[in-house]
A and B are shown apart, each in its own frame.
Chain A
Amino acid sequence: MKSSRTRGAKFSSKAPTGITGFDEICGGGLPRGSTTLLVGGPGSGKTIFALQFATHGAQYCKEPAIFVAFEENSKRIVANAESFGWKIAELGPGKLFFLDAQPMRDLIHSGTFDLGGMLAALEAQIKKMGARRIVFDALDIVLALLPDAAAKRREVYRLHDWLLERELTGLITSKASEEENNSIAQESFGFMQFMVDCAVLLNHTVVQGVSQRNLRVQKYRGTSFDENQSPFVIGSRGMEVAVARTSSRVHVSVTNERVSSGVERLDTMLGGGYYRGASVLITGFPGTAKTTLSGAFAAAACKRGERTMFVSCDSDGAEVVRNLASVGIGLNRYVKNGCLRMVSGRTIIGSAETFLVRVKTLAMEHRARCIVIDPVSTLSSSGNELTAYGVAERLIDWSKALGTTLVCTSLLDEVSSQPASSSQLQISKMADTWIHLNYLVQAGERNRGMSIIKSRGTAHSNQVRELILSDVGVTVTDAYTAGGEVLMGTLRWEKESAERGAKDVAEVAGRVKRVRLDAEEAELEVRLKALQVELEAKQVEKALLVSTTESREGVLSQGRSRMRELRGADTAIPRQK
């Protein structure tokens, strides 16, 4: 007990498994120095789980491990694990030791026996390599050899006590019977589930032909854990358990940065574009230009130099590139320079969960900042109805956590009478921006209408606009409303031409009036000039008049003086003024 306490102080109480998601579910890993029971049906991934646990310990936790294989030959187990990129061969038997304990086929048993031999052998090996983890894979195989339930029980207790005494982190895997009735396996493992500190159930079901794997932590003494069933997949790097958003992942950095939708006028309608890291949903019937709109987004992202991934589930990636080129969205050069990665969603087969894992892996590989999934409604294809919602939720959580801008398109069922009410996956609830594309049939025409149903945190236009695809790109036109209807197509054109005509008439009238006014102005100016000239003439005349009068008077007075002088008259002549 003393040693266990010091160990507890030295290490954490959890032994990490290295399985993505699983360690999060149970708060760090399996109980250290204690036993875990892993139960699952055939092909449910027990051996992979166990091997990943052992390998991870040996490779990253300085905990050498022993793997006791009761069912499968260790060579085959290692060979199978090579595909996950776990370098088991490099670890060597000093760190990860395999013990092949498959009962020989011709083994004859007579009377009772026990596992003492194996435990003694293991004891020696543990001492030799300082093992801290031990896996008993498919213990049910050896228990099946025991004659009765009492003997099975005794051996399980022996094993459990042995593990506890040595403070080994033990993992025992066992098959669960397909039917949940009282079979032999159920009997011997029923009590085992009570005995161990941690029990994990693996479940592999097929729903409408699609394989669905689930994992559930049934019990975990002394710790809180996620009690729900979590889907998992066996991916390219081992097991991956899907975890729902946990509190540790909530604080996502939120930014005010906008990214272009690829359509200039749509950006304006959204008040600048989508938010960086937002999840955008584009819904619509087939052929409403969902792919085109998402392609425009991808092209804009690549133009900014952002690495982008386009997952196309309906058609092949190359086809999408070709088709989008016809509407002026050139993705080819970005594919060539490696900025854009086209992924054909059809190559991702299996459950929605597999799809998500694959998308995540590819996006990580590509270091994508923008992702387009066209259409995301593929997730809910038959067999995935139950899981698709969870997968979509995790897809959005995941992209948010990374700050990746996600554009998803979603096909609406043509039959559905209320297209705008909900999208199949209920992504519409989670998406930040929801753009709905629709056909509007007016005057014998089918035109594409676009409306922004919601856009969190951004002011956005409330109007239904017409989306026009041409060989130079995607544009959104001005909306004309008449009698409460948005006019589209020819009706819009008619309205536009009518307005253009009216404008022309008004312009001509204005021009005529302007000319007339100009003329009047000119006339007045001329008159003004003439009057001014006349005024000047009068002024000159007046000045002349004054000066002549003065000079005449001067001449007169001078004349009088001169006359007086000439006459020699007396001086008593009154003085002139």
Chain B
Amino acid sequence: MTRCAPYRFRLYVAGDAQNSAQALANLKVICREHLRDRHTIEVVDVFREPERALADGIFMTPTLVRLSPHPVRRIVGTLSQSQPVLHALGLGSPSV
């Protein structure tokens, strides 16, 4: 866990919808626990920027996109089941 590759996340949310807020909160927890100071989170509200959602092909909210490191990963949902999410993001503790 000494790699310093920065993690860039983009989270698409639907305004202040409950599951969107939940996803943001869960993401923050994950980042605090695993990626302290090695990440950036961009939050896109699809209600405010619908064209962007259209262009990026975001149809379900909340959607988390891991832009880097490659490959790009997408996770849909509140990110509440931490194990599969961590695994998908390549942060799973059992993998180390």
Contact = CB atoms under 8 A, between A and B. Distances in A.
A binds B: yes
Interface of A: 99-101, 103-104, 106-118, 120-125, 142, 145
A104 B81 CA distance: 20
Interface of B: 12, 14-15, 17, 19-20, 22-23, 26, 46-47, 50-51, 53-54, 57-63, 73-81, 84-85, 88
Given A111-B78, A121-B58, 10 more contacts: A104-B74, A108-B84, A110-B75, A110-B80, A111-B19, A111-B77, A111-B80, A114-B60, A122-B54, A124-B51
Contacts of B14: 114, 116-117, 120
A123 B54 CA distance: 10
Given A108-B73, A111-B22, A120 B47 contact: yes
A112 B17 CA distance: 12
15 contacts: A103-B59, A104-B74, A107-B74, A110-B76, A110-B77, A110-B79, A110-B88, A113-B63, A114-B61, A115-B61, A118-B53, A120-B61, A121-B58, A123-B50, A124-B54
A117 B63 CA distance: 9
Contacts of B22: 111
Contacts of A142: 59-60
A101 B77 contact: no
B60 A110 contact: no
Nearest to A155: B60
Contacts of B60: 103, 113-118, 142, 145
A74 B58 CA distance: 16
A114 B75 contact: no
Contact of B75 (A99, A108, A116): A108
B33 to A, nearest CB: 16
B88 A117 contact: no
A109 to B, nearest CB: 4
A112 B19 CA distance: 7
Nearest to B17: A116
B89 to A, nearest CB: 9
Most chain A CB within a 10 A radius of its CB, from B54, B60, B61, B77: B60
A99 B63 CA distance: 18
Nearest to B20: A116
A177 B9 CA distance: 39
B76 A107 contact: yes
Contacts of A118: 53, 58-60
Contact of B74 (A106, A111, A115): A106
A426 B57 CA distance: 57
B5 to A, nearest CB: 20
Given A108-B76, A109-B77, A113-B19, A124 B50 contact: yes
A117 B75 contact: no
Contact of A116 (B46, B78, B84): B46
Contacts of B58: 117-118, 121
A117 B19 contact: no
Contacts of B61: 113-117, 120
Contacts of B63: 113, 117
A110 B79 CA distance: 5
3 closest Cβ contacts across the A-B interface?
A111-B78, A116-B14, A124-B50
Most chain B CB within a 10 A radius of its CB, from A103, A110, A123, A142: A110
Contacts of B79: 110-111
Nearest to A116: B14
Contacts of B15: 116
A100 B57 contact: yes
A109 B46 contact: no
Nearest to B53: A121
A517 B53 CA distance: 119
Nearest to A127: B50
Contacts of B20: 116
A145 B54 contact: no
Contacts of B47: 116, 120
A71 to B, nearest CB: 13
Nearest to A117: B61
Contacts of A108: 73-76, 84-85, 88
A571 to B, nearest CB: 174
Contacts of B85: 108, 110
A127 to B, nearest CB: 9
A122 B59 CA distance: 9
Given A117-B63, A120-B14, A125-B54, A110 B84 contact: yes
B28 to A, nearest CB: 15
Contacts of A145: 60, 76
A65 B81 CA distance: 39
